[in-house]
Amino acid sequence: MSTTLRNLTLTLAASVLLSAQAVAEPKRPECIAPASPGGGFDLTCKLAQSGLVEAKLLDKPMRVTYMPGGVGAVAYNTVVAQRPADGDTIVAFSSGSLLNLAQGKFGRFDEKAVRWLAAVGASYGAIAVKADSPYKTLGDLVEALKKDPSKVVIGSGGTVGSQDWMQTALIAKAAGINPKELRYVALEGGGEIATALLGGHIQVGSTDISDSMPHVEAGNMRLLAVFAEQRFDEPAMKDIPTAREQGYDIVWPVVRGFYVGPKVTDEQYNWWKASFDKLLASDDFAKLRDQRELFPFAMTGAELDAYVQKEVARYRGMAKEFGLIQ
């Protein structure tokens, strides 16, 4: 092949690739946060919104829309049933979404109904109280629950069996309390938990650290425990004790990421995956993630799909242990 012909072939190949990328790039990029504004799903979408635009991976601004209901169930069903081929849209998920899937709370669709795209960070579960709460330690809360669990109103994202419920159920089990005796108020995500807690409508919030830190730093909230392996080094977090160091060997990571509809084309899916791969490898994105009190957890494509299937199976076993499913 002559040099001229070879160069022409390479030019044509590059042109075809750029054309394919142009077709795959979303025309109206959207991130659905499947809860009310202000919680972890909102935070996850806004992280992608900032990261993709600042890295110039998106030519158009990404809008964030809210679709509360069933801690992710409404959004999941809407995307699978009504918008399965919408390649412009990504949807936020968390470990709580996977726990609900494990219990069949998303209706007729299971964990294989969508295309898992990218995990961009992780937080950890936490137990929050108002700054002036009489509960100073996790032990104080446990003693109050032992005395009369009906007098402690706990706000959680979702109903019995949710991720937030599971965190306090594990504490109750370790303390010899029947988790089903705990008094819960079901709320729609971290934003509503914070509002209810600061408004005095609940005494305890079972939430996660990334949702809580803005309120902690503002002096309105305290964290009795974080469900991490060890204390964090960050100045704002270093004084927050773990559940483990208070005698409760409970670790609960909250992975945050995105999925797309089941019929999104390979070209569109691969565009999103390549964009997130670039984003997750950048120092600028690491700074954005740190600003939102999230910790490194990067996984995309087939690796994330395998992780999701494994976690859902693990959660299913946990749900059976607590008598939540047969």
What pLDDT sits at residue 42? 94
* Global confidence as pTM: 0.80
CA–CA gap between residue 227 and residue 220 (Å, rounded): 21
pLDDT one-digit tens code per residue, 17-67: 344 455 689 999 999 999 989 888 999 999 999 999 999 999 889 999 999
pLDDT one-digit tens code per residue, 131-159: 999 999 999 999 999 999 989 999 988 77
What pLDDT sits at residue 160? 85
Q: Domain 124-252: which topology?
A: D-Maltodextrin-Binding Protein; domain 2 (3.40.190)
Going from N- to C-terminal start, the domains of the chain cover 29-122+254-321, 124-252
Domains 29-122+254-321 and 124-252 share a fold: yes
The answer to whether the beta carbons of residues 158 and 96 sit under 8 Å apart is yes
Distance of CA 217 to the CA centre of its chain: 21
Structure-block tokens of residue 111: 């964990």
Scan for tokens 């990334």, then name that residue.
210
Backbone angles phi, psi at 134, to 5 degrees: -70, -15
CB within 8 A of 219, min separation 6: which ones?
A: 131
Q: Domain 29-122+254-321: which topology?
A: D-Maltodextrin-Binding Protein; domain 2 (3.40.190)
pLDDT one-digit tens code per residue, 302-314: 999 999 999 999 9
CB within 8 A of 124, min separation 6: which ones?
A: 208, 209, 226, 227, 228, 251, 252, 253, 254, 295
